[in-house]
Amino acid sequence: MAALGQGGALGKELEEVKARLAEFEGTIPVRLLDPARIQPSAFANRHSTEYTSPAFAELKREIEQARVNVQPIKVRPGRVAGTFEIVFGHRRHRACLDLGLEVLAIVEEVTDRDLWLQMDQENRGRRDLSPWEQGRSIQMALRSGLFPSVRRLAESAGIDFSNAAKLLKLAELPDDIVAAFEKPTDLQVHWAGPLSKALQIDPESVLARARALGARGTVPRASKQILAELLGEGTPSVLAPEVPVTVSRDGVKLATIRRAGAQRIVVEIHRAVDLQDVATQVARWLEGEVPERVPER
């Protein structure tokens, strides 16, 4: 009788546990994970400059104050036992890693295709990617064979096909063109067409201008001005060291202009001149009268 009574109590407790578990049926559990055991996705689409941005610094402050990422990230089991790969939430993971905090995560098995779709949807619902980052993400998905075409990708992701095609064209610009800008995320989607067309017409000149702009290093510059110079619509503010410029008339070389360091321009005059006349001509040039220039061949 005692045994039956005990069994009845255990049975009742078991039924209570089952009832409580039923309340969570259909929900996805979350776990606190060591961020060091979590690797970025092979389809990660954030540029490195994102992690030095004011927005990322603000996110870190919020997580530091809460001592946890309130909104969980999503991961899938990694190839090595005990490791995980990010599905979405790279910024939250990076913030927790930098702060030495465990990261709140949902763990779920997903395919590569579903990973890309979920990451794309989650990013668009939060802090939008730049056009260049979106284009690179589309490019990676296509190169990896996740979708047979841009159209199928757009249909699956619920995005406009025309816009997706433009974003892809932006991602396919040569590295020299991208490096001409202060950072890739400055590139705008509507610049893809003009730049691609210019490259088709005269690729050598466009790439030469891009390399000259890229040689400026980290000097701040307006993105629209860079675009104009790449398209040959603006006056280049620097001369590429490897491309001297000559001033000539009727086929006779009058002068050569070249760079000699970051702050020096050397002008070599190839005929007898009056210094006062030269000073006058330079003054006119500095006031905006630009002399005819013919690149050496």
Instruction: Determine contact, residues 231/195, Cβ cutoff 8 Å.
Output: yes
Strand extents, DSSP E, 140-251: 245-249
Residue 152 lies in a domain: no
Strand ordering across the sheet containing 245-249: 265-269, 252-259, 245-249, 294-295
- What is the length of the chain? 297
Question: Same domain, yes or no, for 43 and 81?
Answer: yes
Q: Which of 184, 202, 230 is the last residue of a domain?
A: 230
Assess if residue 150 is contained within a domain. no
**What is the 3-class SS of 134-161, one letter each residue?**
HHHHHHHHHHCCCCCCHHHHHHHHCCCH
- What is the domain range of residue 252? 245-295
Indicate whether 122 and 43 sit together in one domain: yes
Do 38 and 90 sit in the same domain of this protein?
yes
Contact 180, 230 (CB under 8 A): yes
Residue where one domain finishes, among candidates 93, 127, 161: 127
Specify the pTM.
0.64
pLDDT in tens, the chain (297 residues): 454 445 566 666 667 656 665 554 555 678 999 999 999 998 988 888 888 888 899 999 999 999 999 999 999 999 899 999 999 999 999 999 999 999 999 999 999 999 999 999 887 766 567 899 999 999 999 999 999 999 999 999 999 999 999 999 999 999 999 989 988 888 999 999 999 999 999 999 999 999 988 887 655 678 888 999 999 886 544 444 456 777 777 667 778 887 765 557 788 888 787 777 777 777 776 665 545 444 444
Number of domains in the chain: 3
* Inside any domain, residue 4: no
Domain-ending residue, one of 95, 127, 159: 127
